[in-house]
Amino acid sequence: MEDRILASNPRYSLMPIEKALEKIEEAFYGWEIVAEKKHGYEHKDEMIDVLSTTDMTLQLHAPLNDINIASINPTIRDASIEEVKRSLELASAVGVNVVTVHPGLYSPLAIYCDDILELSLDSLKRLKITAEDFGVKLAVENLPEMWLTLCSEPEEIKELLQNSDLGFCLDIGHAYTAGRLQDFLEFSIKPVNVHLHDNEGGDDIHLPLGDGEIDFQNILKNLKDYDGNFVIEGRGTEELRKSKKFLKRLINDLDI
C-alpha cells in the first residue's frame, strides 16, 4: 500500500529535478510531478536522465499557472491546450501513464457566458486524442468552490466526463470546500486518481491531513475498492511527511 501513497508539491517545480527527486525519495515511494518551471517540457531531456535513475511510482499534473482550456479567448484557449499537450508528451517520455488536468476557469466576463462547459469539453476532446497518441491516461480534476472555477459540483464534472470518456481525478479537499464530498464519494464515475489534503470547509488551504475537518476514515471506507494511487498534496516537505504518517495510521487501523 505504501507505494500507492504519492507526494506532490508545486513548489518543488522551482527546484532542479535532481534536487526535488532527492527530497521526495527521503520519505515517499511515489511522486506526482507538477509540470511547471524546471519540471516543464523545456527541461524534458534533463528530466528523462534524472528520472531514469529512480524506480518510484510517477504521475504528472499538467501545467496550471496561466492555463485555461475553457478560456473564451480562442487564442488563449489554443495556447493552453498546446501547453497541456506538451505535458502529455513529457509524461510519455519519462514513463508516466496518468496525467491530471484542470477543466478550466471563469474569467470576469466568462461568468456571463453559458458555453464555458462546452468550451472545456471541446478542449478535453482535443487533448484526449493527443493523450491516446502518447499512451497516457488523462484524468480531469474537480476544482474547489470559488467564483472562477469550473467543476466544483459533481453535476458539472459528470457532464464533461460522460461526453469525453476521460478519467476522473477526485480531489478530496476540493470536494469538501463545495460541501459535496459525500456526493463525489458516491459518484457513478470511479476515480483513476485521488488527491488528498485537508481544510476547514471554506478556503482551499491545503492543510496537512488531520489538521482540518475532513473525515479521512470515512473517505478510506468509501474508497475501499479503489485501486489507484493516493496523492498527498502539501506545501512543504514536513507537511507531506506529517500527512503520510496520518494516512498510514488510518490505513493500518482499517486494515486496508
How crowded is residue 146: how many other Cβ atoms within 10 Å of its Cβ?
14
Domain boundaries, the chain: 2-254
The three cell numbers locating residue 210: 488531520
Strands (E), 14-133: 30-34, 57-61, 98-101
The whole-number pLDDT of residue 1 equals: 76
The whole-number pLDDT of residue 203 equals: 95
The CATH architecture one would assign to domain 2-254 is: Alpha-Beta Barrel (3.20)
Whether pTM exceeds 0.95: yes
The whole-number pLDDT of residue 253 equals: 82
The pLDDT tens digits along the chain (256 residues) read 778 999 999 999 999 999 999 999 999 999 999 999 999 999 999 999 999 999 999 999 999 999 999 999 999 999 999 999 999 999 999 999 999 999 999 999 999 999 999 999 999 999 999 999 999 999 999 999 999 999 999 999 999 999 999 999 999 999 999 999 999 999 999 999 999 999 999 999 999 999 999 999 999 999 999 999 999 999 989 999 999 999 999 998 887 6
**Nearest residue to 47 (alpha-carbon basis) of 58, 39, 36:** 39
Kindly report the backbone phi and psi dihedral angles of residue 105, in degrees, each rounded to the nearest multiple of 5, phi listed first.
-135, 155
The whole-number pLDDT of residue 35 equals: 98
Bridge partners for 169 per DSSP: 141, 193
Question: By CB neighbour count within 10 A (0-12 exposed, 13-18 middle, 19+ buried), where does 171 fall?
Answer: buried
The whole-number pLDDT of residue 255 equals: 72
